[in-house]
Amino acid sequence: MSINLDTAKQNLLKLKDEYESRIEKIEDHIQNPQDDLNEHWEDQAISYRQNDMRKNLMTEARQNLIYVDNALGRIENGTYGECEVCGEPIEEPRLEAIPYATLCMEHAE
C-alpha cells in the first residue's frame, strides 16, 4: 500500500479532535441553551425541533468518532487500508475522501 500511514494518522487525529469538539459544543448547547424558552408555544416548538436536530448531529458525530478510533486502531495493528471483505488495499482516493473507510470501492457499493 502506498498511503503514508503517518499522514493518515495525523488526518485521523485531526478528525477525532473535530468530532470531540463538535460533540462537546452540542452537549453544552443542549444542557445550557443560549436563549430562554419563551412562553409562546411556537417558540418552544422551534427550540425543541432545534434540539432534536442537535441531538441527531451529536449522534452522527459520535458514530464518526467511533469510526475514526477504529481506523486509528487499524493503523496500530497494521490493517489500515485493507478491505474488510476481500483483504485487498482500499483505493487511495477513497481513503483520502473517507479516512476511516473499511471497504474497497467494489464492496462499498
Which residues share a beta bridge with 89?
Answer: 82
Residue 104 lies in a domain: no
- Per-residue pLDDT of 84-103, as tens digits, reads 999 999 999 999 999 999 99
The 10s digit of each residue's pLDDT in 33-71 is 655 555 565 665 666 677 788 899 999 999 999 999 999
Look up the CATH number of the domain holding residue 92.
1.20.120.910
Give the model's confidence band at 29: pLDDT under 50 very low, under 70 low, under 90 confident, else very high. Answer: confident
Is residue 23 included in any domain, yes or no? yes
pLDDT score, position 3: 82
End-to-end alpha-carbon separation of the chain, Å?
Answer: 22
Residue ranges making up the domain that contains 45: 5-97
CA-based nearest residue to 92, from 11, 14, 6, 4: 4
